[in-house]
Amino acid sequence: MFKTSQSYPILFLLILLISGCKEKSASTDPKMEEMKLTQKALEIHKRVLTLDTHSDTPLRMIEPGFDMAERHDPRETGSKVDYPRMIEGDLDAIFFAAFVSQDIRDDDGNTRAKDLCLQMIDSIVASTQKNSNIVGLALNPEDAYTMEKAGKRAIYIGIENGYPIGEDLSNVELYFDRGVRYITLVHSANNDLADSATDPNGPEHGGISAFGSAVVQEMNRLGIMVDVSHGNDSVFYDAISMSKAPIIASHSNARSITDHQRNMTDEMLGLMAKNGGVVQLTMLANYLREAPPNKKLDSALATLRGNMKPIEDMTLEERNAMRRSTQELNERYPDPPATVKHVADHIDHIVKVAGIDHVGIGCDFDGGGGIEGVFDVSEVMNITIELVRRGYTEEEIRKIWGGNLIRVFKEVQAVAKRIQSEEKS
Amino acid sequence: MLKWLCVVFTLGLSTSIVDHPLRLSLCEIEYTSNKQILSINLKLFLTDVNEAIVFDPYSKELAFCQPNESAQANKMLMDYVNRFFYVKANRKKVDLKIKSKRLSGEGENTALWVYFEHQQPLPLTSLEIKNAVFTDLFFDQNNIVYVHVNGKSKSLMLNKKTSVHQLKF
């Protein structure tokens, strides 16, 4: 897999080599062919606008001392996004999602959720101001292109979970004014707006609630994209029928490829195409593939546990030794990983069902996203390499990597303008 | 009295060890001067608790919150929690005693909630929180802390690198 930070000097030499050897054996040497393909893909990756619609990096921003301008080692800290690695991966634009965990649904809970959400949004804005030489706060679709030309990364803001809206519709405009351009209606548990795909208590509203419907209308009026990721299937169908503008799924995959309730059925993908919306592929391993059983690891762990002293008799040293042994086995027998090939399988399927105009990328870095080959933001070019390998053209890749989302974003703003104009007249 | 949270707090995430999911726990700390009670609520994935204490994420040995809960369950839980978590109110460490526990969610997403209360008659001027739970298991463990003091809320993320933070009021 390609890694930018380690590979630029090697790539330069390879390009020289390729140029010197052309017409001789390049067309038949698989390694040379792979290098040419990689070179072509990297050039495309550089030329097209690359936009990721979902990152939970604001959670990192509330870590005391965390600096977005510093490069972090993802395998040491778990951090998947910072500005140096955005540059390495040549990711031009990103939506940072302000996330607030679903809590009690009363006045106290709603007030707290709003405070926490505003704190997250403030953290994002402060980060863009502090690093204004390399990034900028983006509010409109064209800002991504303007900033790309200026050599800056565009930072957009989303909200993951409509919970901080509480029961007060005016909060939608408050968040819009703070820069929010999409809202994920619901998260892992039902809220006052909509039902979650994963609430253990099942559906509560039968999709989007009456208040949720009013929120969708207000989002349409203001020009905020309606995001149905995390909602159950009824939320999707309700959003399609309620929204006057195209909708998005900021981080969801295809259910036909991986049977997970967070992924979208072929029928939903087809409707998304009719709606003019877009499904943004996510790098969450369990949404990309079903992990096969790991019998070697299970067996080795069972043997280790079978030889263990009773826990209550173990000293701290013995417990620490047992922890080390467990970790060694996990490292020796890792599960087969999700890879960029799984990502491309989902993209292929969505293109087949919904068409090339309705798929994009929303990695969910810092929210669990990250797979072999696209472990953090510095490695996103590997998606482009796999797409080129599968025969996607530059124009198609341009659509996948940001063109489709920007089209929807523009349409959402055009609808808002129309609604506001009708209100005035 | 702190109201129970009602969530499965996965972000988009799964909980399998090898898929590099986001490892999360949630802690909520609340104080209001008129009640003079500092309440602390820890929400931990049950699989992580079992892995941390008995080296088996799916162990039924401790059977938290079940009729057959082990007599050792609370002690073993607190032996672990006290190694990786503390709260200091006005620079004095709070003696954590479990007031109640409960389970929520299902399957991989089952969460164990552990609730503590502490009498805090003097005005709260500072809180120091350490939350490094499960950082011994996972290098990328993240622990969200929500603090609500006299109507003002703040969120923090603590982890292996930054496990302690102090707030002043």
Q: Chain A closest CA to B105's CA: distance in Å?
A: 6
Using the beta-carbon criterion (under 8 Å), do A370 and B148 form an inter-chain contact?
Answer: no
> A202 with A304, same domain?
no
Distances (CA, A) of A372 to A6, A10, A83, A376, A380: 17, 21, 21, 9, 11
> A261 with A307, same domain?
no
Amino acid at B126: S
Amino acid at A16: L
> A172 with A226, same domain?
yes
Judging contacts by C-beta atoms under 8 Å, the chain B residues touching residue A120 are: 155
A142 assigned to some structural domain = yes
Mutation target among B20, B141, B167 for the A interface, most CBs of A within 10 A: B20
Q: Cα separation of A122 and A120, whole Å?
A: 5
> A416 with A302, same domain?
no
Judging contacts by C-beta atoms under 8 Å, the chain A residues touching residue B142 are: 59, 78
Judging contacts by C-beta atoms under 8 Å, the chain A residues touching residue B32 are: none
Domain range spanning residue A82?
Answer: 48-292+340-424
Compare all CA atoms of chain A with the CA of B157 and give the residue at the minimum distance. Answer: A63
Q: Chain A closest CA to B130's CA: distance in Å?
A: 12
| DSSP category for residue A244 | S
Backbone angles phi, psi at B68, to 5 degrees: -100, 30
> A329 with A394, same domain?
no
> A96 with A240, same domain?
yes
Judging contacts by C-beta atoms under 8 Å, the chain A residues touching residue B130 are: none
Domain count, chain A: 2
Q: What is the pLDDT of residue A13?
A: 52
> A376 with A302, same domain?
no
Mutation target among A112, A199, A294 for the B interface, most CBs of B within 10 A: A112
| DSSP category for residue A313 | G
A34 assigned to some structural domain = no
Alpha helix stretches (DSSP H) within A276-375: 285-288, 295-306, 316-332, 340-354
ipTM for the predicted complex: 0.83
> A71 with A127, same domain?
yes
A103 assigned to some structural domain = yes
> A378 with A317, same domain?
no
The answer to whether the CB of B73 falls within 8 A of the CB of A311 is no
Identify the helix (H) or strand (E) that includes residue A84.
helix A83-88
Closest Cβ–Cβ partner in A62, A304, A375 for B157: A62
Q: Are strands B37-45 and A153-160 parallel, antiparallel or unpaired?
A: unpaired
Q: What is the pLDDT of residue B105?
A: 82
A384 assigned to some structural domain = yes
A29 assigned to some structural domain = no
> A56 with A175, same domain?
yes
pLDDT in tens, chain A (425 residues): 777 655 555 555 555 555 554 545 545 788 999 999 999 999 999 999 999 999 999 999 999 999 999 999 999 999 999 999 999 999 999 999 999 988 889 998 999 999 999 999 999 999 999 999 999 999 999 999 999 999 999 999 999 999 999 999 999 999 999 999 999 999 989 999 999 998 988 999 999 999 999 999 999 999 999 999 999 999 999 999 999 999 999 999 999 999 999 999 999 999 999 999 999 999 999 999 998 899 999 999 999 999 999 988 899 999 999 999 999 999 999 989 999 999 999 999 999 999 999 999 999 999 999 999 999 999 999 999 999 999 999 999 999 999 999 999 999 999 999 999 999 88
At which of A334, A360, A390 does a domain end? A334
At which of A276, A306, A334 does a domain end? A334
> A249 with A137, same domain?
yes
| CATH number of the domain encompassing residue A274 | 3.20.20.140
Identify the helix (H) or strand (E) that includes residue A83.
helix A83-88
Amino acid at A86: M
> A373 with A314, same domain?
no
